[in-house]
Amino acid sequence: MMGMRIGRLMGSVVIALVVGVSSPAMAADEPTVGAKAAYVIDSAGTIHFGKRETKRVPVASLVKIMTAYVVLSEGRLSDTITITAADVKYAAKGGAATAGLRKGERFTTRDLLYALMLPSGADAANALARHYGPGKTAFIAKMNRTAHTLGLADTRYTNADGMPTLAGGYSTAVDQARLAQHALRSSVFTTVVGSTAHKVTKSKVHRAHTWRNTNKLLTQADDVLGVKTGYTDAAGYCLLFAAERNGLQVVGVLLDDQNERRFSTAEKLLNYAGDQIGLG
Choice among 12, 61, 93, 202 that is catalytic = 61
pLDDT at position 14 is 37
Choice among 23, 51, 64, 187 that is catalytic = 64
pLDDT at position 16 is 35
pLDDT band for position 76 (cuts 50, 70, 90) = very high
Distances (CA, A) of 26 to 22, 247, 266: 11, 20, 21
Is the Cβ–Cβ distance between 36 and 57 less than 8 Å? yes
Nearest residue to 42 via CA among 262, 240, 273: 273
**For residue 9, is pLDDT > 80?**
no
Q: For the chain, count helices (H), then strands (E).
A: 10, 9
pLDDT band for position 280 (cuts 50, 70, 90) = confident
Q: What is the DSSP letter of 120?
A: -
- % of the chain with per-residue pLDDT over 90: 85
> Is 64 annotated in the active site?
yes
> Is 73 annotated in the active site?
no
Q: What is the pLDDT of residues 19-45, one digit of tens each?
A: 333 333 455 789 999 999 999 999 999
Q: What is the pLDDT of residues 145-199, one digit of tens each?
A: 999 999 999 999 999 999 987 778 999 999 999 999 999 999 999 999 999 999 9
Mean pLDDT of the region 104-129: 98
pLDDT band for position 243 (cuts 50, 70, 90) = very high
pTM, 2 dp: 0.89
List domains and CATH numbers for the chain.
34-279 (3.40.710.10)
**For residue 7, is pLDDT > 70?**
no
Mean pLDDT of the region 84-97: 91
pLDDT at position 5 is 44
Is the Cβ–Cβ distance between 101 and 83 less than 8 Å? yes
Mean pLDDT, the chain, whole residue set: 91
> Is 61 annotated in the active site?
yes
**For residue 6, is pLDDT > 60?**
no
For the chain, how are helix, strand and coil distributed in percent, rounded to 5? 40, 20, 35
Choice among 73, 89, 93, 120 that is catalytic = 120
Mean pLDDT of the region 249-261: 98
